[in-house]
């Protein structure tokens, strides 16, 4: 028995060592491929520090213009979210396995929508700007597509999660398909509608802040202008207002979602309930009509320009499906750069997460003050899009994959620490108390108790971020931070649609492959 236990411990140590060596080799090669140079970063640090220092002198007289553009950004995000969530409900019913009228529709449509989901919203915006010209209309449509694709996946999963026995019980009492839809399925969608809307709204608010970089309206337009004019005092004002706004919207979303779960109306009589039901039936169409009027007024495009854009879109799609395979060598080079930026950022973010989550979680941090400070720091990292952080790194290391990799590493750290520290905080107190009882301290509890217990969650979160970083790395190329996004931006600008088609197809294929590898790893390790 003793020998068996020794062999088990030895094998476990060997496996751990092999995994560490493989990760170390992968990180080293990724660092080499993104031109990681600690000396270059150190030499560029004074320039970056000087830039950040200049940003600590905000020009508050600029706040009025920023707020005007910020309201435009919020409108773009809101309208895109409303349209996307409203349009998705019939499509979710058609693509869910248990509600589709024919089993062939999910087989055909779900892979197609998964393919569209691989295209980042900034790329959608760039494509739409080339069709409909600059303005908020391309931004609204780009975020509508994002909201549609995200909420479609969520609603389809909710519908497919309805127990078959429940639907069969409705059929058993003579309910026809419309009655099953009205009494069994739509209540599920209705119950999740508000939660999905706010999830989509949060995503779209963050996305809308950078759409202006490609001319799709919002605060990104003045951000790009001020960067080009080196007005760092204006940028400081913009980022401060943006940070406060995103933090407030996150908090508001959390409060409304929690309140909506616990809301309960106690009716004193049947008459009051009937009156409430009638008012509800009347108010919903009025609300939808009001939203329709509001949205139509925000569409800053004439009918003639819209029809011209549709005609150009037909031509664009026809040319995009005619892939230019002569551009394949450059495409593979861009994909390779994006992959190594992603791997570098995910590994760096994953390592940082192990240490910062210990400080950020209330049940492991040495002091509550340390936990609060760490959470505040992490929120700063994840609030600002990596595009903005990459611009700061440009000052120190210049454009290229290194700036993109460093910016994405910081953003990945912020997202991962938030997710994993919440997992750590939700662990049972027995794990911590059992180690404290034998003389351990808080770090021992984290290292030998909580981390081994939550390792499957950590790996799942890390792999999820790996998938997301592939999409994000393509966005960084729009501003010259390396990867396939640089090639996409160039060819969209030059209207080389055959090359754009090849780049988008290659990027979609890459995301699908990464998703498949990630799924297999989760099945094996988690």
Residue 301: name the closest of 141, 139, 137 by CA.
Answer: 137
- Per-residue pLDDT at 82 exceeds 80: yes
pLDDT, tens digit, for every residue of 87-144?
Answer: 888 888 888 877 777 778 888 888 888 878 878 888 888 888 888 887 888 888 888 8
User: What pLDDT sits at residue 237?
Assistant: 83
List Cβ neighbours of 162 (8 Å cut-off, separation of 6 or more): 98, 184, 185, 188
DSSP 446: I
pLDDT at position 5 is 63
pLDDT at 374 over 70: yes
CB 134, CB 215: distance < 8 Å: yes
Q: How far is residue 262 from each of residues 192, 258, 281, 362, 459, measured CA to CA in Å?
A: 13, 7, 22, 26, 33
Cβ atoms of 142 and 83 closer than 8 Å: no
Per-residue pLDDT tens for 411-420? Answer: 899 888 888 8
pLDDT of residue 522: 65
Residue range 385-415, pLDDT digits in tens: 787 788 788 877 877 788 888 888 998 998 8
Per-residue pLDDT at 97: 77
Using an 8 Å Cβ cutoff, are 74 and 139 in contact?
Answer: no
| Tokens found for residue 350 | 């994953």
Please list the alpha-helical segments (H only) found in 118-269: 121-132, 136-160, 164-172, 177-180, 186-211, 219-228, 232-262
The band of 267, judged by pLDDT with boundaries at 50, 70 and 90, is: low
Evaluated on CA atoms 375, 378, 380, 385, the torsion sign reads negative
Per-residue pLDDT tens over the stretch 447-472: 778 888 888 788 888 888 887 888 78
- pLDDT given at position 16: 72
Domains observed in the chain? 59-260 (1.10.3720.10), 264-321 (no CATH), 323-525 (1.10.3720.10)
% of the chain at pLDDT higher than 90? 1
Q: Which of 77-91, 119-133, 189-203 has the lowest mean pLDDT?
A: 189-203
pLDDT higher than threshold 80 for residue 84:
yes
Indicate if the pLDDT at residue 510 is higher than 60. Answer: yes
Max Cα distance, the chain (Å):
83
pLDDT at 327 over 80: yes
CA 254 to chain centre: 17
Is 70 exceeded by the pLDDT of residue 273?
Answer: no
Q: What is the pLDDT of residue 254?
A: 66
* Residue 201 phi, psi dihedral angles, 5° rounding: -65, -45
More confident of the two residues 128 and 281? 128
- DSSP labels for 483-518? SHHHHHHHHHHTT-HHHHHHHHHHHHHHHHHHHHHH
Number of H helices, E strands in the chain: 22, 0
Cα separation, 339 vs 153, whole angstroms: 25
Secondary structure of residue 36 in the 3-state scheme: coil
User: Residues 6 or more apart from 148 whose CB is under 8 A from it?
Assistant: 83, 84, 85, 87, 88, 91
| Tens-place pLDDT, residues 38-74 | 888 888 888 777 777 777 777 788 888 888 888 888 8
CA atoms of 268 and 265, how far apart (whole Å): 10
Question: For 441, which DSSP code?
Answer: -
Nearest 10 degrees: Cα torsion 36, 39, 42, 47: -80
Q: Report angle CA 404, 209, 346 to the nearest 5 degrees.
A: 30
pLDDT for residue 87: 84
Lowest mean pLDDT among 221-225, 273-277, 302-306: 273-277
350 to each of 225, 346, 377, how far by Cα in Å? Answer: 34, 6, 17
More confident call, 505 vs 165 = 505
Asked whether the predicted pLDDT for residue 258 surpasses 70, the reply is no
User: In this structure, are residues 85 and 197 in contact, taking their beta carbons and an 8 Å threshold?
Assistant: yes
- As given in the structure block, the two tokens for residue 263 are 């809301």
- pLDDT surpasses 70 at 182: no
Degrees, nearest 5: CA angle 305-309-311: 120
Q: Tell me, what's the pLDDT at 339?
A: 87
* Residue 2: band (very low, low, confident or very high) from pLDDT cuts 50, 70, 90: low
pLDDT band at 525 (very low <50, low <70, confident <90, very high): low
Q: What percent of the chain stands above pLDDT 70?
A: 88
pLDDT tens for each residue of 283-292: 767 776 776 6
């Amino acid at each position: 028995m003793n020998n068996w236990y020794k062999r088990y411990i030895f094998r476990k140590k060997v496996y751990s060592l092999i995994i560490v060596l493989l990760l170390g080799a992968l990180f080293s090669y990724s660092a080499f491929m993104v031109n990681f140079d600690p000396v270059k970063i150190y030499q560029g640090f004074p320039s970056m520090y000087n830039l950040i220092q200049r940003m600590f002198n905000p020009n508050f007289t600029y706040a009025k213009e920023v707020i005007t553009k910020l309201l435009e950004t919020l409108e773009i995000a809101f309208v895109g979210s409303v349209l996307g969530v409203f349009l998705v409900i019939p499509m979710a019913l058609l693509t869910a396995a248990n509600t589709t009228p024919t089993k062939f529709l999910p087989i055909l449509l779900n892979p197609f929508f998964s393919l569209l989901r691989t295209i980042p919203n900034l790329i959608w915006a760039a494509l739409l700007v080339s069709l409909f010209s600059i303005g908020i209309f391309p931004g609204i449509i780009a975020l509508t597509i994002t909201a549609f694709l995200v909420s479609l996946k969520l609603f389809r999963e909710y519908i497919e999660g309805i127990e078959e026995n429940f639907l069969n019980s409705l059929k058993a009492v003579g309910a026809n398909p419309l009655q099953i839809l009205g009494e069994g399925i739509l209540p599920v969608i209705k119950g999740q509608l508000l939660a999905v809307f706010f999830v989509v709204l949060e995503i779209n608010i963050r996305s809308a802040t950078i759409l202006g970089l490609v001319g799709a309206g919002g605060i990104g337009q003045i951000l790009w202008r001020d960067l080009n004019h080196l007005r760092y005092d204006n940028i400081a004002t913009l980022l401060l207002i943006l940070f406060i706004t995103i933090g407030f919207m996150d908090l508001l979303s959390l409060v409304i979602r929690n309140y909506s779960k616990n809301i309960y109306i106690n009716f004193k009589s049947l008459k009051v309930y009937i009156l409430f039901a009638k008012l509800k039936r009347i108010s919903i169409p009025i609300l939808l009509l009001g939203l329709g009027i509001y949205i139509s007024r925000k569409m800053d495009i004439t009918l003639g320009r819209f029809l011209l854009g549709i005609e150009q879109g037909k031509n664009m799609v026809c040319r995009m499906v005619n892939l230019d395979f002569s551009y394949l060598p450059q495409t593979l080079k861009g994909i390779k750069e994006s992959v190594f930026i992603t791997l570098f950022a995910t590994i760096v973010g994953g390592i940082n997460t192990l240490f910062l989550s210990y400080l950020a979680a209330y049940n492991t941090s040495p002091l509550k003050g340390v936990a609060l400070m760490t959470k505040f720091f992490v929120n700063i990292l994840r609030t600002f899009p990596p595009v903005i952080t990459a611009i700061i790194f440009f000052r120190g290391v210049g454009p290229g994959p290194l700036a993109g990799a460093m910016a994405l590493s910081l953003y990945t750290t912020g997202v991962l620490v938030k997710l994993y520290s919440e997992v750590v905080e939700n662990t049972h107190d027995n794990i911590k108390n059992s180690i404290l009882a034998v003389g351990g301290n808080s770090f021992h509890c984290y290292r030998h108790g909580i981390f081994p217990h939550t390792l499957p969650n950590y790996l799942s979160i890390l792999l999820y971020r790996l998938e997301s970083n592939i999409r994000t790395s393509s966005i960084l190329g729009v501003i010259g931070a390396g990867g396939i996004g640089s090639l996409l931006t160039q060819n969209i600008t030059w209207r080389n649609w055959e090359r754009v088609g090849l780049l988008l197809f290659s990027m979609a294929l890459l995301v699908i492959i990464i998703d498949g590898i990630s799924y297999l790893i989760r099945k094996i390790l988690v």
